[in-house]
Amino acid sequence: MLRPAVFVPEAKRLNVLLREFRASRNHMAIVVDEYGGVSGLVTIEDVLEQIVGEIEDEYDFDEASDNIIPEPGGRFRVKALTQIADFNAAFGTRFSDETADTVGGLVIAHLGRLPKRGETIAIEGLRFQVLRADSRRVYTLLVDKPKDAR
């Protein structure tokens, strides 16, 4: 079912936003800055995690599990904190660890900024899609080889 987009200002307090989400039975909103530009997307899960702490869902990892988990279709879910050396060993790549120590750092270095959730970047024949990130860091990536590179 398609619903009209909901816009909220960056300065909206979390308790007010949560109350609005619950009252409208809406689970996400587009965040706008003071000039009306889009600065991101916020979900009810984001709000709840800021209030009560981490909530596990299908995009979250168990901290005790591996950093690289195979997914259907030849893709891999990768923790952004995976060391470049470990990533290189698993994927047969030769990424340098001089500019970044982790895969998340590699993506940030290539973009030149923190990526948003859902953003995709191709680096040396691999496609990195951001599954989970916030305003301070990247948490989870989906990595695959584009079909034409396989």
Q: What is the pLDDT of residues 33-78, one digit of tens each?
A: 989 899 999 999 889 888 887 666 655 555 545 889 999 888 999 9
- 44-52 vs 14-24: helix axis angle to the nearest 10? 140
> Whole-prediction pTM value?
0.57
Cite the residue boundaries of each domain of the chain with CATH code 3.30.465.10: 68-149
3-state DSSP of 71-127: EHHHEEEEECCCEHHHHHHHHCCCCCCCCCCEHHHHHHHHHCCCCCCCCEEEECCEE
**CATH (residue range 68-149):** 3.30.465.10
User: Could you report the per-residue pLDDT of 92-141, keeping only the tens digit for each?
Assistant: 999 998 888 999 999 999 999 999 999 999 999 999 999 998 888 899 99
Pick the CATH number of 7-52 from 3.30.70.270, 1.20.1440.120, 3.40.250.10, 3.90.1280.20: 3.90.1280.20
Kindly state the average pLDDT of the residues 83-95.
92
Q: Are 142 and 119 in contact (CB under 8 A)?
A: no
| C-alpha distances out from residue 63 to 5, 71, 79, 85, 96, Å | 34, 17, 10, 19, 25
